[in-house]
Amino acid sequence: MTVKTLVTGFPRIGENRELKKVLENYWAHKVPFDEVEDTARALRKKHWLLQKDSGIDFISSNDFSLYDNMLDTMVMLGAVPERFAGIADKNERYFAMARGNGTAAMEMTKWFNTNYHFIVPELSDDLVFRLDPAKVLSEYREAKAAGVTTKINVIGPLTFLGLSKTKDGGGSFKYLHKILPVYKRLLEEIAKLDESVYVQFDEPAFVKNPSGTILSLIRETYGELAAAGGGINIIVTTYFEHAVEAVKPLCDTPIWGIGLDFLYGQRNVEALEYAASKHIIAGIVDGRNIWRGDLSAGLELLERIHKVVPKEQIVVSTSCSLLHSPWSVKNEPESPIKKHLAFAREKVEEVSLLAKLFASGCLSETEKSVLEENKGNLLSGSNPVPVKNDKTGDRPAESGRKTRDGTYRERSALQKSRLNLPLLPATTIGSFPQTPELRKARNDYRKGLIPETVYEAAVKNYIDDCVAFQEEIGLDVLVHGEPERNDMVEYFGELLEGFHFTKNGWVQSYGSRCVKPPVIFGDISRPEPMTVKWIRYAQSKTKKPVKGMLTGPVTILNWSFVRNDIPRPAVAKQIARALSDEIADLQKAGITIIQVDEAAFREGYPLRKENTDEYEQWALEAFRLAVSTADVSTQIHTHMCYSEFNDIIKTIEAMDADVLTVETARSGNKLLRVFKETAYQNEIGPGVYDIHSPRIPSAAEFREQILARLEVIDKNKMWVNPDCGLKTRTWEEVRPALKNMTKAAAAVREEIARTQDR
Ligand code: GLN
Ligand code: ZN
């Protein structure tokens, strides 16, 4: 017998990021839209054919997108916000929604717990939902013309609504009765395409502790959809976690199959008893990491599923769309870790291979040797990457310390007398504008085109200017500006042992933007100080304190690909130890304030409520371990670029940073109230400068912002600072803006002093 195979979705950016390049040229008016279409068509064809050649049965169409699939779904449903409705040209309108054009772009946010960002739908009563099936239908026909009969991917209505925001701030599910008819019309159109068509509705929202309301909507929605399209086989696909609650109501509807992620949602096995009559799309090849899969473990998993579900109803699949994985390992240079890697292209092969092995039941000698070979290529297999047993790996934290000395009260008193800062101290978050000259110097140095001395001079020059400027406008706590860093994680990854950098491991982050996350594969250690040279230099140029600037352990971990045979908490701990050594060295160099950025702390939260405690515990431990070497009189800052703290305030409190700077320029006081309500003790720097916008706020506006924040934050605990780092802005914007910010801080400080004198 044969076992069928399915790939949930394939990366669309292209082997050489062709889509990125053509889109950016089109946006820069360098090429006409036709060229974008040609590239897109060529990419789709290439991706369909390579999956076909690998023997995949269910290959997706409509997994492609010129920007984002949620945005495509808005277009498909006619959910175009009014401010864009007047743009006559279809493509212009599409990209205006994504990127703005005079009017503000639509909001973008992270897709579940991945680093992929989608465009957030804005729903309102005045929207007229109307089907536009053009993209869905034409991609199916295009594939068919290329000799591939596809399954059609569509984002399911409940996930679409669950991720939408509404103009009136109310719940979004009230629009279900409006969009469901449009989805039904879509299925009617799809039904005309062929005698029997497969449609995959992506419903990852089902894995996030679905409420009773959602569970009842599942039955209703898929009951109706399954009835609507004659000859259509509906697959409802979930991923990133288990969907145990949703399986039962789904199985009460006449859908054809259910996609379940058995890697990130191991509890899915428990739900199989309800699903024995359905086809099970078994997600067992990891769609979101970069490591070779363990084929034997995959086979065991398939056998477990087979105990409940007949073999002919099992479809071997990826755990989620391969969108979250880079393109192919074959483009990587030789390295000790290459044989351990599997990117999208190789994962497709794994799906196919697993199905063959599973189908054959009793393995032949050749098949056994395939498994043997696979074992040898696994990280934890017979031939692992050598891991060094170095000083940070296993050694107990210095003096067994797990957290720093002193209560906040004790530390604060010492820091106050040591630092002697004014009321409402003004500071920035770390980076200053990255100029073209700076980028060039960094690149030239990397390529060996300029000697270290020339490069160092360039960086020092930048620091000189940066410090002089901050002195001139009167900021209280200075930074060196981060001129030596291209990226806050990559910089540290390159200086720590245990990291590997791929050459082509690009993953789409949003629109045309791709990131190349570092790979953590060995024990992490710090051969030498990483930041001391630069911070010490900056400090030598001023009497005011210069902040040491580090990226936190949880953020370094969350923004890297981590080997999957070592628990994440253990890796976080190793990073934390390395950072704690750096803090000790910074102190020795006379640095009095050190900031440990945790920009990605929040996005690491698990999707399931029941798992948050565990994450919070080890993430917290890692952060506390990282700062454990800080003296009582050293002021520790942490920075987080978001403003939603309501649900994690206890953890923020437990992190116990002396000063926490956050993003609030857009959201205002609303989300800050929680700090007041919970009587948060430590100091807070609420962002008053929206660094995502090129706008330069006036001193009067800054004053308003500061006064507003003082309604919820005690004046003795408040700092004045921007929302985040300034590296994406220009000096022309930053100079006047920071000047105005500092001026406003001084003005409010005086106003407070005057009222106190009276
Ligand atoms: N210190 C970093 C900077 O200013 C922080 C960046 C971030 O939080 N994303 O660039
Ligand atoms: Zn930030």
If you search the block for the tokens 């074959």, which residue do you land on?
Answer: 330
Q: Is 231 left (phi over 0), alpha (psi -120 to 50) or beta?
A: left
Closest ligand 1 atom to residue 485 Cα is 10
Arithmetic mean of pLDDT, 258-268: 97
Residue 727 Cβ inside 6 Å of ligand 1? The answer reads yes
Residue nearest to atom 6 of ligand 1 (CA): 725
Distance (angstroms) between ligand 2 centre and the Cα of 723 equals 6
The per-residue pLDDT for range 331-368, each reduced to its tens digit, is 999 998 999 999 999 999 999 999 999 998 888 999 99
Reported for 95-98, long-range contacts at CB under 8 A and 24+ positions apart, including other chains, are 95/27, 95/67, 97/71, 98/67, 98/68, 98/71, 98/511
DSSP conformational letter for 518? -
Q: What percent of the chain has pLDDT over 70?
A: 97
692 is annotated as an active-site residue: yes
The per-residue pLDDT for range 40-51, each reduced to its tens digit, is 999 999 999 999
Q: How far apart are CA 122 and CA 163, in angstroms?
A: 10
Closest ligand 1 atom to residue 640 Cα is 8
Q: Do domains 5-376 and 410-757 have the same CATH topology?
A: yes
Closest ligand 1 atom to residue 727 Cα is 10
Residue nearest to atom 9 of ligand 1 (CA): 599
For a ligand 1 pocket test, name from 597, 643, 726 the mutation site with the most ligand atoms within 8 angstroms of its C-beta. Answer: 597
Alpha helices in 286-343 (DSSP H): 295-306
Distance (angstroms) between ligand 2 centre and the Cα of 585 equals 24
Q: How far apart are CA 256 and CA 258, in angstroms?
A: 7
Orientation of helix 134-145 relative to helix 33-53, angle to 10°? 50
The per-residue pLDDT for range 627-673, each reduced to its tens digit, is 999 999 999 999 998 778 999 999 999 999 999 999 999 888 888 99
Residue 599 Cβ inside 6 Å of ligand 1? The answer reads yes
Residue 299 near residue 266, CB atoms below 8 Å: no
User: What does pTM read for this prediction?
Assistant: 0.93
The per-residue pLDDT for range 399-452, each reduced to its tens digit, is 578 999 999 999 999 999 999 999 999 999 999 999 999 999 999 999 999 999
Arithmetic mean of pLDDT, 542-566: 96
Closest ligand to C-alpha of residue 724 is: 2
561: Cα separation from own chain's centroid: 12
Catalytic residue among 117, 242, 637, 692: 692
Distance (angstroms) between ligand 2 centre and the Cα of 600 equals 9
Reply yes or no on whether the pLDDT at 393 is more than 70.
no
Distance (angstroms) between ligand 1 centre and the Cα of 429 equals 6
Distance (angstroms) between ligand 2 centre and the Cα of 691 equals 9
To the nearest 10°, report the CA torsion of 707, 713, 719, 724. -90
Sign of CA dihedral 69, 73, 78, 79: negative
DSSP conformational letter for 331? G
Residue nearest to atom 4 of ligand 1 (CA): 725
Residue 662 Cβ inside 6 Å of ligand 1? The answer reads no
**Confidence band for 396, pLDDT divided at 50, 70 and 90:** very low
Arithmetic mean of pLDDT, 695-711: 96
Arithmetic mean of pLDDT, 219-228: 95
Residue 725 Cβ inside 6 Å of ligand 1? The answer reads yes
Indicate the domain borders of the chain. 5-376, 410-757
Q: How far apart are CA 717 and CA 658, in angstroms?
A: 10
CB atoms within 10 A of CB 310: 11
State residue 670's pLDDT score. Answer: 83
If you search the block for the tokens 């030598």, which residue do you land on?
Answer: 540
Task: Tell me which residue of 255, 265, 283 sits closest to 208, measured CA to CA.
Answer: 265
Calculate ∠ Cα 30-33-37, nearest 5°.
125
- DSSP helix, strand, coil percent of the chain (3-state; round to 5): 45, 15, 40
Closest ligand 1 atom to residue 551 Cα is 1
**Confidence band for 105, pLDDT divided at 50, 70 and 90:** confident
Report residue 557 as tokens: 């971990």
Task: Tell me which residue of 604, 731, 726 sits closest to 665, measured CA to CA.
Answer: 726
Strands, E assignment, 321-384 = none
Closest ligand to C-alpha of residue 595 is: 1
Arithmetic mean of pLDDT, 308-318: 97
Distance (angstroms) between ligand 1 centre and the Cα of 550 equals 9
Query: Residue 519: phi, psi to the nearest 5?
Result: -110, 125
The per-residue pLDDT for range 718-731, each reduced to its tens digit, is 999 999 999 989 99
Residue nearest to atom 8 of ligand 1 (CA): 599
State residue 382's pLDDT score. Answer: 42
The per-residue pLDDT for range 514-541, each reduced to its tens digit, is 999 999 998 999 999 999 999 999 999 9
Residue nearest to atom 1 of ligand 1 (CA): 430
Closest ligand to C-alpha of residue 430 is: 1
**Confidence band for 392, pLDDT divided at 50, 70 and 90:** very low
Task: Tell me which residue of 245, 248, 247, 276 sits closest to 259, measured CA to CA.
Answer: 247
Residue 641 Cβ inside 6 Å of ligand 1? The answer reads yes
Report residue 120 as tokens: 């957030």
Closest ligand to C-alpha of residue 597 is: 1
Closest ligand 1 atom to residue 430 Cα is 4
Residue 639 Cβ inside 6 Å of ligand 1? The answer reads yes
Q: How far apart are CA 119 and CA 106, in angstroms?
A: 6
Residue nearest to atom 7 of ligand 1 (CA): 599
Residue 498 near residue 491, CB atoms below 8 Å: no
Distance (angstroms) between ligand 1 centre and the Cα of 12 equals 29
Q: What is the mean pLDDT of the chain?
A: 94
**DSSP bridge pairs for 520:** 499, 562
State residue 305's pLDDT score. Answer: 97
CB atoms within 10 A of CB 107: 12
410-757 carries CATH number 3.30.70.100: no
The per-residue pLDDT for range 110-147, each reduced to its tens digit, is 999 999 999 999 999 999 999 999 999 999 999 999 99
Distance (angstroms) between ligand 1 centre and the Cα of 658 equals 18
Closest ligand to C-alpha of residue 687 is: 2
Which residue did the predictor score with more confidence, 394 or 143?
143
Top CATH class of 5-376 equals alpha beta
